[in-house]
């Protein structure tokens, strides 16, 4: 396995997990939150006849799940960046963090599969195969790109695109973060 395998695994997994996508029995009413966002739960809490307290608690829990999905996505993006730089040990640490974040939500147990596991395995395989003297190139270049300057420009473009994606994820995390006081009092453990 090499850098191209890592990229393929990343592309296959990225943007697939954004929130609760497994069945739940949440709160006293046993709410199934699968496919719902924190905003949808907040809207439900305002509807007459709905179990308001359960929906408010669900909103907080769903916000935590959404944040975890964003954090896992960011860890995977950092893993890809490290792999592109030839630092497979760091890439593996970030890929393992993405998997750990996903597992902590209960998603893997509930569905019996992981979005980020194949990516982690691709990074681990590349890490095992690489020795310090035989690192793969930063990016496989098309045959038409032959000069070192053109290769550097292509890698720089790829890193800029990744930086934009990381900035976007960071902004999303900031907008999803409930106030610290509110989160501490209402969030509780990540369980459904």
Q: How confident is the model at residue 176, as a pLDDT?
A: 58
The pLDDT assigned to 67 comes to 95
Question: Token pair of 88, please?
Answer: 């497979």
**How far are the Cα atoms of 17, 39, 74, 151 from residue 14, in angstroms, in the given order?**
8, 22, 10, 25
Residues in the chain where the model's pLDDT stays below 70: 1, 131-192
β-bridge mates for residue 3, sequence order: none
Phi, psi (degrees; rounded to nearest 5) at 52: -55, -50
Q: What is the pLDDT of residue 43?
A: 97
Backbone angles phi and psi of 184, in degrees to 5 = -65, -35
For residue 2, the model assigns a pLDDT of: 83
Question: For position 54, what pLDDT does the model report?
Answer: 96
C-alpha separations of 160 from 33, 75, 90, 167 in Å = 36, 17, 20, 10
pLDDT value at residue 178: 52
Could you tell me the two tokens for 185? 């009092």
State the pLDDT at residue 184: 36
In a domain, 181, yes or no: yes
Q: What is the pLDDT of residue 74?
A: 95
> Residue 27 belongs to what domain range?
3-186
pLDDT in the model for residue 131: 47
pLDDT of residue 150: 60
pLDDT at 128: 83
CA dihedral 29, 32, 33, 39 (to 10 degrees): -50
- The model carries a pTM of 0.68
- Does residue 62 lie within any of the structural domains? yes
Does an H or E element contain 128, and which?
helix 117-129
| pLDDT value at residue 26 | 95
Q: Is residue 76 part of a domain?
A: yes
Q: Rounded to an integer, what distance in angstroms lies between the CA atom of residue 164 and that of residue 174?
A: 15
Cβ proximity of 118 and 99 under 8 Å: no
> In this structure, is residue 168 part of a structural domain?
yes
pLDDT for 129? 78
Whether residue 191 is contained in a domain is answered as no
Question: What's the total number of domains in the chain?
Answer: 1
**CA dist list (Å): 149 to 84, 87, 155:** 17, 22, 10
Task: Answer yes or no: is 116 within a domain.
Answer: yes
């Amino acid at each position: 396995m090499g850098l191209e395998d890592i990229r393929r695994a990343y592309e296959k997994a990225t943007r697939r997990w954004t929130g609760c996508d497994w069945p739940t029995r949440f709160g006293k009413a046993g709410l199934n939150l699968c496919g719902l966002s924190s905003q949808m739960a907040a809207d439900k809490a305002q509807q007459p006849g709905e179990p308001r307290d359960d929906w408010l608690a669900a909103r907080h829990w769903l916000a935590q799940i959404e944040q975890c999905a964003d954090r896992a996505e960011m860890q995977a993006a950092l893993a890809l960046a490290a792999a592109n730089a030839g630092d497979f040990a760091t890439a593996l640490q970030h890929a393992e963090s993405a998997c750990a974040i996903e597992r902590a939500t209960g998603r893997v147990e509930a569905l019996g599969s992981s979005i980020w596991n194949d990516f982690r395995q691709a990074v681990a395989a590349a890490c095992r195969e690489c020795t310090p003297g035989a690192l793969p190139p930063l990016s496989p270049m098309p045959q038409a790109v032959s000069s070192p300057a053109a290769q550097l420009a292509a890698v720089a473009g790829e890193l800029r695109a990744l930086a934009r994606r990381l900035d976007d994820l960071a902004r999303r995390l900031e907008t999803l973060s409930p106030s610290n006081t509110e989160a501490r009092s209402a969030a509780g453990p990540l369980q459904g």
